[in-house]
Amino acid sequence: MASEEQSSVKNTLKPVVRPTCVRWLYNVLLLIVSLLITMITAELVFRIVYPLPSSLASPHRPRKWQSGLGNLYLPNSSFEYWVWDEKGHQVHKSKQQVNAWGFTDQPVPKRLREAELRIVIIGDSYVEALQVSNAEKLGFLLEESLNDELGVRVEVITLAKSGTGQAAQYAYWRRYREVIDPDIVISVLVANDIRDNHPTLDATARGYNPLFPLQLSFIPSDNEIDGLIEIPVADDWLEHRAAIILAPRHRLYNRSALARFVINRLGIDRWRYGKNRLFKGIEFTSAMFTLAAEPIPTVARQITFRLLEKYRRETQSDGAQLILLGAQGQSPEDPLFQAVRTFDRWITEWAAEKEVEYVSFFREASARGRSWSEFHWAGDNHWNQDGHLFAARLLEDRILRMLRDAN
């Protein structure tokens, strides 16, 4: 009897042995939960240390692909853009209204040809100006001031898109050149246009195949009249991307601070077409490469100035006047300051040789004792309301002087 009781006690104390498959499943689940907790913790930490960039944190911007032009905004839509400071704090909201052509500009006038003075401004993010409302932008301010000063109907149309240079902008100019029939063409220049105008540099930075570009591109050729061969916009550009590589605008990149950190640190978004060693010495997220005496930036500079010559000849053949506005300026403490000054010198020399009007924003501001920080958002580097007003006054003075000289 005693032995039976002892046997019963032993059976009770005997550890429960789970089947092998149950133990395996338990360990896997434990590992998954641990990884999830670790990743969530890391994501929260990285969101604090590396806050979401303003371009990604702003509300959705509806877009529509336009054949021959690329990915513009959805015509007649509207959206809100948020401006952030260097610490990741939201400092401003702007309401954007898109016109019938897909640009963030006032509505296209119904009787445009009836205006006595028609002006078109072509540019990139400085002219698109998501940081301010339509009524605070360069084009609107210039139109308003010239209407008051001249007492005649003046129409100013802007054709601008962020992340473009003169190459991509030429598609906009070509599409609407005859419709607008401008008297004055203003091309707004930024130092990184040289990068944006080079098909390989731009494709590497933005993640598309340079042979199937998402915006108009050119390569130099001495056998052509303009010295350029056009690479047309590819409507099927998405099908020719390197599928195994994460694009920097991928949903995971846009929504996860941890994923963004890994992609940026590993340089994944810059290895899509051409390896990093191909661009040794070139910083293609800034204008610093304009100082590099290497083949790629040399060709990029060549493309840029051949495009400017193309604009000059076409505006001249239309009986219009071309004005160049150098938009980007940096503080003397900024590492890009020397690069911007070099770019400004190149444009100054070219404009003098070709007898083209050139207005340098940062030189004009310096001559008046104005600082860079007065005209730009902290942490954004684009013009604030004062920057657009100052640029409008510079252009107004130059246009009025040109009109007086013509009479």
- Residues 6+ away with beta carbon under 8 Å from 226: 306, 309, 310
Query: CB burial class (10 A; 0-12, 13-18, 19+) of residue 148?
Result: exposed
Smallest Cα–Cα separation from 187: which of 158, 229, 144, 218? 158
43-96: pLDDT as tens digits: 888 777 776 665 555 677 899 999 999 999 999 999 999 887 766 677 888 999
* Token digits of residue 156: 């100013």
* Token digits of residue 213: 């570009």
| Alpha-helical runs (H) found in 151-239 | 166-180, 193-197, 199-206
CB atoms within 10 A of CB 289: 24
Query: CB burial class (10 A; 0-12, 13-18, 19+) of residue 301?
Result: middle
Q: Is the pLDDT of residue 205 over 50?
A: yes
**Which of 121-130, 262-271, 360-369 is predicted most confidently?**
121-130
- Exposure on the CB side of residue 383, measured as CA atoms within 13 A: 27
Q: Is the pLDDT of residue 214 over 80?
A: yes
Q: In terms of CATH, what superfamily is 56-241+273-406? A: SGNH hydrolase (3.40.50.1110)
Would you place residue 173 in the very low, low, confident or very high pLDDT band (cuts 50, 70, 90)?
very high
Say how far apart CA 401 and CA 407 lie, in whole Å. Answer: 10
- Per cent of the chain over pLDDT 70 is 79
Region 183-202: mean pLDDT is 91
pLDDT at 66: 96
CB atoms within 10 A of CB 206: 17
Query: CB burial class (10 A; 0-12, 13-18, 19+) of residue 263?
Result: buried
In the block, which residue shows the tokens 């060693």?
Answer: 277
Region 157-178: mean pLDDT is 96
**Which of 41-50, 167-176, 218-227 is predicted most confidently?**
167-176
On average, the pLDDT of the chain sits at 83
Is pTM beyond 0.85? Reply is no
* Cβ atoms of residues 130 and 54 within 8 Å: no
Domains of the chain by residue range: 15-49, 56-241+273-406
Q: Between helices 295-317 and 166-180, what is the axis angle to 10°? A: 10
Say how far apart CA 219 and CA 167 lie, in whole Å. Answer: 10
DSSP state of 384: -
Q: Is the pLDDT of residue 10 over 90?
A: no
126-151: pLDDT as tens digits: 999 999 999 999 999 999 999 999 99
Per-position b or e across 35-45, b if 16+ CB within 10 A of its CB: eeeeeeeebee
Between residues 333 and 308, which one has the greater pLDDT? 308
99-125: pLDDT as tens digits: 999 999 999 888 887 899 999 999 999
Between residues 27 and 57, which one has the greater pLDDT? 27
* Cβ atoms of residues 153 and 116 within 8 Å: yes
Say how far apart CA 400 and CA 138 lie, in whole Å. Answer: 16
Say how far apart CA 358 and CA 352 lie, in whole Å. Answer: 8
Between residues 258 and 282, which one has the greater pLDDT? 258
Would you place residue 278 in the very low, low, confident or very high pLDDT band (cuts 50, 70, 90)?
very low
pLDDT at 273: 35
**What length is written for the chain?**
407
